[in-house]
Each structure stands twice: as C-alpha cells, then as structure tokens.
Copies of this chain bind each other. A is one copy, B any other.
Amino acid sequence: MGRRLSICNSIDDCDLAVLANESSRMTVADGRSFIEEGAPAHDFFVVTGGRVKLFTLLPDGRRQITGFAEGGDFLGLAASTSYAFGAEALGSATLCRFPHAGMQRLTERFPSLEHRLREEASRELALMQARMTLLGRKTARERVATFLIERCTHLDRPDPTRPVELDLPMPRTDIADYLGLTIETVSRILSAFKKEKLISIRSITHITLLMPERISTIAEGME
C-alpha cells in the first residue's frame, strides 16, 4: 500500500539495473494468497499490475480487510519479523518482490530510499488513522459514503460537483469486510443511495456518483 511515485523515484537516473537485480517479478492468480498472516516476513512487494487485498483474520474466520493495493503500491512495511496481515490477489495481479536482504543492499547504495520508505509508511499511517475513525465511530451510511469518496479520490477527480463514474472491482464481501459491515448492509445502503438519487448503479461493479458533494457530506457525518 504505497501511493503513486513508485520507489524508483528515489533512485532516479541511477542504475535501475541494480534495482532489477534485487527484485523478481511474479504473477498471482485471482483469489490466490501470496502473503500468509503471521508467516516470517522475508520480502517487500510492489504491486505492478492488477489489485490485491490485505487483511487480518480472527481464529473463527472473521475477516477485516485493512486495505486494497494497486499499481505502484508498496506492501510489507507493516511487518517486522512476521507479516501483520495476509494478502491475496483481487483479479490476477503482478508484483515485484524484493527480499529484505536485497532491499538492504539497495538502501545502502541509495540512502534516500530509506527516507522514501519512511514516507511511504507515514502516508499509510495517516490513512489508517482515518480508517480507524471510520471503523470505530462512523455509521454504516457514513462508511459506505466514505468508501465511495475514497474510491473516487483514487482517480484525479476533475470537478467535485459533476457526476463521477467509478468501478468497484471487489465483490460485496470484500467491501463489507473492509468497512466492518455485512454484505447485506452494504447492499441495502447502496440501494438506499440509489433510491435517493445520490448514485446510479449501472452494473454490479460500475457505479456513478450523481452528487459527489452530498455523498462527501454524508461521509464526514455532516449529513
């Protein structure tokens, strides 16, 4: 989960071959898990294509999705010796894997990379603060509204008053587990938004925000 500006930016014109040397590509099929929660953490990952979901599990199977990651996002910072989360592909995804050892060689060679990684972690921390507020204090309506706005912030939204089209590549189950709700509640609230003409649902994955500003207002709990 790191945003834009892949880590390569801190290496700039420097030897990209060195970076390639330390990493290996891999492809993960839809639904395939490639990080096991609690497993010893040997690698960092950068998502180069497709999307992945990160999550933690309770012993009885309850699941909390802690984030979705896509192209350019960085994975594995939330890990010391073992991964604090599991990860699996959402649709087929391609990744760059950086073994910790290799990463260390890279940070020695390019000291600014270390700073870049910290920035990445900081950005992630800031996002998580907001998500904790969502999970701890927002109503179901507010959560779904926040989710929609979040999705449209991913895009570089042109005009906040104009309708925005967006697609939700993840199934309802994932949305629910991300928002700390059930699929039924998510479904009901999307239907309610539709009835209120706040959104239109073209297909299961394709939604248009008709009144982004109002949804944004709901998201902040200012109804």
Are A126 and B80 in contact, with the CB atoms below 8 A?
yes
Answer whether residue A111 sits at the interface, using C-beta atoms and an 8 A cutoff: yes
Contact with B along A65-101 (1 / 0, CB 8 A): 0100000000001111000110000000000000000
Are B117 and A84 in contact, with the CB atoms below 8 A?
no
Answer whether residue A125 sits at the interface, using C-beta atoms and an 8 A cutoff: yes
Choose, from A22-30, A135-143, A153-161, the stretch at the interface.
A135-143
Cα A123 to Cα B222 in complex, Å, equals 34
Cα A135 to Cα B137 in complex, Å, equals 9
Tally A residues with Cβ within 8 Å of B. Answer: 43
A interface SS class:
helix
B residues in contact with A180, CB < 8 Å: 135-137
Cα A115 to Cα B117 in complex, Å, equals 9
Cα A111 to Cα B112 in complex, Å, equals 10
In the complex, how many angstroms separate the beta carbon of A221 from the nearest chain B beta carbon? Answer: 5
Within 8 A of B (CB), among A14-66: 56, 58-60, 62-64, 66
Query: Taking beta carbons and an 8 Å cutoff, which residues of A are in contact with B?
Result: 56, 58-60, 62-64, 66, 77-80, 84-85, 107, 111, 114-115, 117-119, 121-126, 128-133, 135-138, 177, 179-180, 220-222
